[in-house]
Amino acid sequence: MRIVGFERQGRASFGLLKDAGIIDVGARLSFRGLHEMFRVHGEATLPRLRAYENDAADFALADVALDKPLTDWGKCFCVGVNYPERNAEYKDGAEPPRYPSLFVRFPESFVGPDQPLVRPPESAELDYEGEIVLVIGKAGRRISQDRWREHVFGWTLGNEGTIRDWVRHGKFNVTPGKNWAASGAIGPWIVSFDEIGEGPFELITTVNGETRQRDTTARMTFPFARIVEYVSTFCTLQPGDILFTGTPAGAGARLTPPRFLAPGDCVEVNCEAIGRLSNTVRDE
């Protein structure tokens, strides 16, 4: 099952993407977005969505503009440096990490599929980071690694776009460089866990058709189970929370010389099991 956010004739909604088009679940339930359904129905969201799977499509995909599949959330945690070569890119001689490196992102820092990433006037160092994103579907605290699957609603893709010089303003200042408005993207839809399972997923990021990142989640330093376990140790994960699980080696800042994004560039994050997230770049 694929869940999309969309806008049609100035009205925001969400629904199920089928071959015949989009089933407008939001209109049926009077919710503006999937985040509202999560807040009302919690872990019952998935079975309630399934009740509409066989409805006739309301719109053709071509008749709507896709938006973020989730436009709001309680928590978004991102895992940094989670692929082996990514750690080596820092060239600081550090030992492999014992614990995941985490930071948070806010909803306004992401756009949806086919919407432009925005480079601010304060920096020319807008960078890309293709990632697999895990969506929580069942609340949990101190979730053990053998039970992580039952808490996952599904998967989407992310471009965890970063303003590189703004992550270096202070010793621990990751947050400023990660939360510029419209600097990253999420989408194009959420694929339910029961449809594609737990991978491993191959992830490919291209810029103007050139492959910059390519790796598989089988090689992550901290696998999905460990990420869910670690985050849920210190806070309760709720339905609709999202976890960016890390980007492979090959981000623009680590190339020689660095290759940052510029207006007119097109970034695509691809995973065969999930879909393709495409965004161009413009100046603010």
At 186, the pLDDT band (50, 70, 90 cuts) reads: very high
d(CA 182, CA 119): 8
Judged against a pLDDT cut of 80, whether residue 283 lies above it is answered with: yes
120-149 core/surface letters (b: 16 or more CB in 10 A; e: else)? eeeeebbbbbbbbbbbbbbbbeebeeeebe
Asked if the model's pLDDT at residue 112 lies above 60, the reply is: yes
Alpha-carbon span 277 to 268, nearest angstrom:
5
**Alpha-carbon distances, residue 132 vs 159, 220, 228 (angstroms):** 9, 11, 14
Q: What is the pLDDT of residues 76-103, one digit of tens each?
A: 999 999 998 866 555 566 777 899 999 9
Separation between Cα atoms, residue 103 and residue 266, nearest integer Å: 26
Q: What is the mean pLDDT of residues 259-263?
A: 98
Q: Determine the Cα–Cα distance for residues 102 and 80; give it in Å rounded to an integer.
A: 6
Query: In whole angstroms, what is the distance from residue 34 CA to residue 24 CA?
Result: 11
Distance CA(238)–CA(31), nearest Å, equals 19
- Domain positions in the chain are 2-67, 76-283
Structural contact between residues 110 and 72, judged by C-beta atoms closer than 8 angstroms: no
Tell whether the model's pLDDT for residue 9 goes beyond 90: yes
Q: What's the pLDDT at 267?
A: 98
Residue 86 is predicted with a pLDDT of: 61
N- to C-terminal Cα distance for the chain?
35
Confidence check: pLDDT of 121 > 60: yes
Residue owning tokens 């999202």: 242
Residue 70 sits at the vertex; the CA angle it makes with 279 and 143, to the nearest 5 degrees, is 120
Mean predicted confidence (pLDDT) in 50-63:
96
Write the pLDDT tens digit of every residue in 134-185. Answer: 999 999 999 999 999 999 999 999 999 999 999 999 888 899 999 999 999 9
Q: What is the CATH number of domain 76-283?
A: 3.90.850.10
Q: Are 233 and 225 in contact (CB under 8 A)?
A: no
Q: What is the value of pTM for the model shown?
A: 0.95
Instruction: Write down the pLDDT at residue 182.
Output: 98
